[in-house]
Amino acid sequence: MPLPVLVIIVVFGIALVVACVWLLGLSKPARLADADDARAQFAVSFPATKVEEVLVSADGVAAFLLLGGGRRIGLVEAFGARFITRILRAGDIEPTGSLGESGVRLHFADFSHPRGRYEFSSATDRDRLLQWCEAIGRQDQEDNKT
């Protein structure tokens, strides 16, 4: 087969695959619709973990979950068309600053996800997350004293 014909077939084939993926909606980024959606996504990875409260970011890209006993925070975050989930303990999450009226910048002790910027629908939600971070750190310090 002549090289120019082969090149045309390959380019057409790649374009056809890309068009099919786009038309089928497989290229859409994942989003969390609400707190129940975040709970369901978290339960896929951690089915036995009790979730007490959920804060979903304004854009639906991430959710933070207060886990049983208030000693840990769960994270569900969109990564392309899928979600990553983490359980964060004291030392795993550190607020490094506020962004605007309702955003927060976080540093994670995880080389695969070192930092994040999250915008919430209200300053109340952001402040609630900051309270959770402070509480798990305080509980860890109390545990180390005993």
- 79-122 residue pLDDT tens: 888 899 999 998 898 888 888 889 999 999 888 888 899 999 99
Give me the pLDDT at residue 131, please: 92
pLDDT at 140 over 60: no
- What pLDDT, on the 0 to 100 scale, is given for residue 113? 83
Whether the predicted pLDDT of 135 surpasses 60: yes
Q: State pLDDT tens for residues 6-59.
A: 999 999 999 999 888 888 877 788 899 999 999 999 999 999 999 999 999 999
Tell me what pLDDT residue 146 has.
Answer: 58
User: Structure tokens of 112?
Assistant: 């695969």
- pLDDT over 60 (residue 65): yes
Which SS3 state, helix, strand or coil, does residue 44 take? helix
**CB 51 within 8 Å of CB 36:** no
Amino acid at 107: H
Q: Which two tokens mark 89?
A: 């303990």
Beta bridge partners of 65: 54, 74
